[in-house]
Amino acid sequence: MAAAQAAQLPRRIIKETQRLLSEPAPGISASPSEENLRYFNVMILGPSASPYEGGAFKLELFLPEDYPMAPPKVRFLTKIYHPNVDKLGRICLDILKDKWSPALQIRTVLLSIQALMSAPNPDDPLAENVAKHWKDNEQEAIATAKEWTRLYATM
């Protein structure tokens, strides 16, 4: 079934998928779903020296019909305490919206998300209360993020 689907898949997606599987980026794994080759199961390891260190975060990534002219849709499946990620796991990242460029790839998107985990940006928040917490008392917020990582992101 996957083979039949692959025949209709744009060459670019096939190439990207092959490369993601053959040369994965450090700390990131992404593999297409059996049923839908546009749907990827993603795992990002919490970057070292971040509150998410030691955690393994599951995400889903979907390539819409217009991809790569339109950005992929990405969402955290694992609960994460982060000012730019809301309760539903939606991510506030400019390249997933107006700063998207067709020259970007799945790999670059995932690397950007990894970088966002290392450097939260409470000035451009998606989760207001988390961002407020982050700004008012960074120590405490980081502690919560670590706690959540321990609770939800460790196997």
> Please, what is the end-to-end C-alpha distance for the chain in angstroms?
32
For residue 86, the minimal CB distance to other proteins (Å) is 24
Query: Taking CB under 8 A as the rule, does residue 10 contact other proteins?
Result: yes
Residue among 12, 87, 135, 150 that touches other proteins (CB under 8 A): 12
- Sorted by sequence, the CB contacts under 8 Å of residue 141 that are 6+ apart come out as 81, 130, 133, 134
User: Which residue shows structure tokens 């390539």?
Assistant: 63
Selected range binding other proteins among 27-35, 51-59, 83-91, 100-108, rule: CB under 8 A: 100-108
CB atoms within 10 A of CB 61: 19
Query: Taking CB under 8 A as the rule, does residue 6 contact other proteins?
Result: no
Query: Taking CB under 8 A as the rule, does residue 69 contact other proteins?
Result: yes
Known catalytic residues? 92
Q: Are 51 and 142 in contact (CB under 8 A)?
A: yes
Binding site for other proteins (CB under 8 A): 10-12, 15-16, 66, 68-70, 95, 99, 101-104, 108
